[in-house]
Every structure is written in structure tokens, then in C-alpha cells.
Amino acid sequence: MKLGIIGGAGLLGATTAFCVATEGVADEIVLTDVRENVAASHAMDIGQAVCETTATRLSVGGLDDVRFCDVILNVAGIPERSAASRDDYLRGNIAIFRELAENIKKWGTAPVFVSATNPVDVLNYSLCEMTGLPRERFIGYSRNDSLRFAWAVSEETGLPVSGIDALVIGEHGDGQVPVFSRLKLRGGGAFPELGDDAKTRILNRVNTWFAEYQKLDSGRSSGWTSAVGLCRIIRAIATNSDEVLPCSVIPDGEYGLNGVSIGLPVLLGRGGVREIIEADISGVERAGLAAAEKKIRLLIENLNL
């Protein structure tokens, strides 16, 4: 499997390249970035770091060099800055995606695109619309929401995060919907009952995480967390894994939704999205999903694609 990374010189591109190379998921990783010298330094460094344990090759090239990749990870975007919401990045990042879409239309190929640029729901849908390629080939990264939900539940219950199967659907942002109704213990067994006060504390941890991180004003995204999650998604695509993963995808009637990209549980494979899993969720959670869909749709409509 050949992986291309657009934005390979940045924090998220480089850390994901390292994680994927370490696992030997890809035969080759091509880094492309306007800062070609930085991308080249990452390729040289990562290549030597993993050469004793995997056969993954790293190289550097331009956009035309990733056109024949099986999977393209797009992490290109405007620089991170203090922001109240991920939506604040939309104006700058949609311009980058428009330019990328024009290049993709000239390629004559249809790789699987994994986008991790915010606001990811709007941008993942926009890239699909602007290129005209099949919706199954467009995946937006939103797994961090589910991980942080599991972390918040762990903080409340004392259970290890590794033993909690948690799911967040909806928007990757303020419209996220933690699905309390399907919290599970990995390996089976009944999940401990959570009272209303416990749920409120969990939601407060989930909902304030982004603001707390932004207060640090570090100028960086959560690169290591996202890189580990992206590696998991890329591995699932490469291996046709049966693991159900939360991703922002474009439904075609599932959950009564269409015309947006939104976080849902999916099975992934070599062609992208194999199946959107319709989980049994509560009425309150379904209402939250509908509200998230409405918000995302409005942002898309305002772009006049």
C-alpha cells in the first residue's frame, strides 16, 4: 500500500508518517509540502528511525507524485492559532481545498482521501463535491472525540480507557454527540450505570477540552493523539479490518441523513468506506445528531459549492 501525505512537513503529517512507518502499514510513504526541505528532512530521519524494524520506504515529491497513491492523507491547512471553535478555520482552509480539488480533477485517479483539516466535516464533504469522485472515498478524521469521551468516562469511573468502548457521533466540534446509550466494556460485561450527575461531569470534561487546549496558545494541534488515530484508520483501510471506527463520512440515507459529512461508526477497507453501521441510539442522541447535521449543512450551503 502506498500512502501520500499532503502537508507532510507539519506536525500532524510528520507524526502520522512516523506512526505508519513504525507499524509497517505502508510499503511507501510520499511526503509533499510547500516546505520541501522540511519534508525531506522528515523523510530522511523517519526512514533511518524505522529501517531496522520495517521495510517502509519514505520519499518526497509534489502533488503529481501522490496521484497514484492508494491512500492520500490531507493535513494541509492554515497555521494553528487560538480559536473559539474549529469553524474559525473554515475561510482559510476552504481556499486550500479548492486548489487541491482542481489538481485532483486532473489526475484521472481516485485514491481514498483521509482529511484531518478543520472544520473536517465541512471540508471532507466539500472535497468530495468539488472533485466529483465517489463519496465512499472520502473520510474525515474525528476519532479523537470518541477517545476523549472514553478518557472522560475513565476519569469519572476509574475504569481504564483501554477497557472502554465509547462512541461519539455528529459534528467534530460543538455539535458532537457522546453516545451514552452504547457505552460498553471491551471484552463483554455490563457497563456500570451512570447517574445524571456523573454524565454531566463527563460532558463537561468533553465539552471544555478544546477550549482548555486553546488557552495554551501553543500554535500546535494535538498531533500525537491524532497521528495515532490516523494510523489506526490507515491500517483499517489497508487491511480491510472489521474494526468499527468513528469517522466523518457522507451518508446516503443511513440515520436518515444525506448531503453532509458527519461523524458515524463505519467499516473501512481498500476502497474507503465499506459500510456505515447503524447503531441503536436513544431518541435524545438521535435529536443531537439531527442538530449537528443541520449545523454542518448550513456551513456547507454558505460556501456555495
- Spatial separation of the C-alpha atoms in residues 143 and 263, rounded to whole Å: 9
- Spatial separation of the C-alpha atoms in residues 296 and 262, rounded to whole Å: 8
> And the C-alpha cell for 20?
505508519
Residue count of the chain: 305
> And the C-alpha cell for 170?
455528529
- Spatial separation of the C-alpha atoms in residues 72 and 6, rounded to whole Å: 7
- Spatial separation of the C-alpha atoms in residues 215 and 44, rounded to whole Å: 34
Collapsing DSSP states into helix, strand and coil, what is residue 86? helix
Point out the catalytic residue in the list 172, 232, 235, 295: 172
- Spatial separation of the C-alpha atoms in residues 235 and 240, rounded to whole Å: 8
- Spatial separation of the C-alpha atoms in residues 170 and 262, rounded to whole Å: 5
Residues with Cβ within 8 Å of 272's Cβ and at least 6 positions away in sequence, in order, are 112, 134, 136, 137, 138, 139, 237
Find the distance separating the first CA and the last CA of the chain, reported in whole Å: 32
**Amino acid found at 237:** I
> And the C-alpha cell for 252?
446516503
Q: Which residue in the block uniquely carries the three cell numbers 524494524?
A: 53
Q: Is 172 a catalytic residue?
A: yes
The catalytic residue positions are 172
